[in-house]
Amino acid sequence: AIRGLPGWTTQTFGFGEGRSELAVSWRSDEFELVRARQRVVATGVGWDVGRYPFGTRLVAVVTLRHRATDRTLTVINTHLPQAIEELDRLGSFTPTINSYRRYDRGAWSPEDVSWGYENRTAAIRAITTPTPSACRFENRVPGADVNPYLTVAAMIASGTEGIEDGLVPPPAEAGMAAEGNARRLHANLTDAAQAFAASDFCARAFGTEFRDHYAASRLNEVAAFEHWKTQRITDFEWQRYFI
């Protein structure tokens, strides 16, 4: 039911029980089509499509080429700095309260602002094989619940600034990225939304009106969750105080 859809390319078993890895083309419309069809198929057999399991992510891949010189790696290196710098300010990569539960460095789901060559533990993984023309990098921060349109827009905008300004990336992480000195990604939606609201880059990339509206919508999501909790006894309270 999913194979044959526009944008669907391959499917393999992922890292972890019950997890599948889908390769979808670069078009955001086609990604949304595949995701919607997943829900329909799962519902039809009494299942659900989960975005929660630790490590579950959407790996957004970017490849660039210098038209005049074909210096792909050089272009990527100047694209990276601003993309890395803005990672923890882009709340669009982790848009819900549940998004933050999946971070798990042991499952290659990054928890810090880092990058490295062929390093799956880093937030951004640069890939230089098998040929120079195949050079690309993966943004491993977004979750499977992400808005693909905002994600692609943010990656293009941040990378473009890096290229235009001729920036230089920080040192690459060679080992476990979490063991380095890189700053941590935000651990909750409140902090991420506030960082998004205060970001000059987000105002340049999306416009001030959208930046403020999107940040407010995420903070409203947090407020709705907090209100919901006041109306219910949590599992923690029940198990700790009543059982």
User: Is 90 exceeded by the pLDDT of residue 211?
Assistant: yes
CATH number, domain 50-242, options 3.10.150.10, 3.20.20.140, 3.20.20.10, 3.30.590.10 = 3.30.590.10
Q: How large is the average pLDDT for residues 150-175? A: 84
Give the residue extent of every domain in the chain: 1-49, 50-242
Q: Which two tokens stand for residue 41?
A: 């198929």
User: Is 80 exceeded by the pLDDT of residue 188?
Assistant: yes
Cβ atoms of 184 and 111 within 8 Å: the answer is yes
Q: Which phi and psi (to 5°) does residue 173 adopt? A: -85, 125
Q: How large is the average pLDDT for residues 77-91? A: 78
Distances (CA, A) of 93 to 10, 44, 144, 145: 24, 29, 9, 9
- The winner for highest mean pLDDT among 76-80, 143-147, 161-165, 226-230 is 226-230
Cβ atoms of 141 and 110 within 8 Å: the answer is yes
- The winner for highest mean pLDDT among 17-26, 45-54, 117-126, 132-141 is 117-126
Cβ partners under 8 Å of residue 224, min gap 6 = none
Distances (CA, A) of 100 to 115, 118, 171, 172, 196: 20, 24, 26, 25, 16
In percent, how much of the chain has pLDDT > 90?
20
pLDDT of residue 108: 74
